[in-house]
Structure 1
Amino acid sequence: MKRVRKAKSRIFDITETQEEIQAISERLPLKNVTVIPDTLVNEVTALRTEVKQINQTQAKLAEAVSNLAIQVTERQNSSDVQVSQQVDLSEPMEALLSQLVEELRHIQEDVHTLSSAQTQTELALSDVQLNTTGEVHALRSELSTVLENFFQKALKEGTELRSRTEQEHKPLEAESPPLVSPRSKSTEKYGDEVFSDDVLIEDEDLIQTD
């Protein structure tokens, strides 16, 4: 997060940071456990980035305090400045150091708040992942049961259909008439006498033999 210095001051202005932290704190309790996991991951990443930036700012402030302390020591030990031109910097420096210490305290509170928000978000993400895993296992089990029932039903219906088909074909085979042989008998009636093909054929054979 970009920070700006206060006018004519070495103190960083964290008003913007405090407002964002307040917004996050108000928004987190309203988060539902069923939030999309990607959104939670993005929020955790943003919180980690914010904590990192605050830590960097805190390091810069600590360095500024150290530099100011060195400057105070150098000015107090300087023997080149005339007594008439010396300026008592103890009070301004003390006030500035107090402001820096107060600023560091606020930053530490911000870091604690962000860390707490990050922990809550990670817990919510963990709950969502656990719930999602449970739902996936339940769906897989249900799908397996449905498929098993479907295959059993299909197998049963196929067996019944085959049995009905075989039963329907058996009567047709039993009732079908026998094939007529080429030498089957046929009779014709001429007048009052009935002549058979076999008889005629035998008579013809006798005629040819004679």
Structure 2
Amino acid sequence: MNYVFEFSAVFDAWDDLMAGLLRTVWLSAAAMGIGLVVAILGALAKTNGPRPLRWAIDAYIELIRNTPFLIQLFVIFFGLPVIGLRLEADQASLLALVVNVSAYGIEIIRAGIESIQHGQIEAGRALGLRPLQIFRLIVLKPALQAIYPSLTSQFILLMLNSSVCSTIAANELTAAANDIQSRTFRSFEVYFVVTGLYLALSVLFWAVFAGIERAFLRQPASR
């Protein structure tokens, strides 16, 4: 093998990689936050909403979970301009990520809600709590505790899926890597370093999620 590994060309463009990495963090965190809110509202509507709304949510979930994320991204970026809604690449990427993660999040949170014993809800009603208070105080936190590992795993997949957004020239890590590779022709070195950066991002997000669990979701120790 006569190939000579040369990483200096990659590290000369380190600022571009860091800019792409920060953009990936922003894009992923924003999609996670918005997607979580949409998923909670969708799960609440699916478990307690009127039948037509439940049917609409079911159709949305099946549509998103049974089509590739790349196609969803293309529909939003290339398809919406047909009806007069034109989005920038980063805006389309954020919307596609939210649409995608929300569909999975609704089902995950719904499973958590349905794991709550009905007697606890009845007790809340007996205490005179309103439906929203019952959901917020009795249902939501235990449900999140039950499904937190699955939900955070889905969020990590969301962050990794953000690399697909480079296909529409979104300003994220993979797009930055593609640009550097096109200038330096150091494919192995560029993508080897980017692989390490994605691994570091995954570890970072796992650490953040573990901190959130310890601070807000972990049950107090029994006495």
For this structure pair, what is the TM-score category when the shorter chain's length is used for normalisation? under 0.3
Instruction: Compute the TM-score of the two structures, normalised by the length of structure 2.
Output: 0.26
Query: RCO greater where, 1 or 2, for CA within 8 Å and sep 6 or more?
Result: 2
Per residue, is there more helix in 1 or in 2?
2
CA radius of gyration, larger in: 1
Per residue, is there more strand in 1 or in 2?
1
Instruction: Compute the TM-score of the two structures, normalised by the length of structure 1.
Output: 0.28
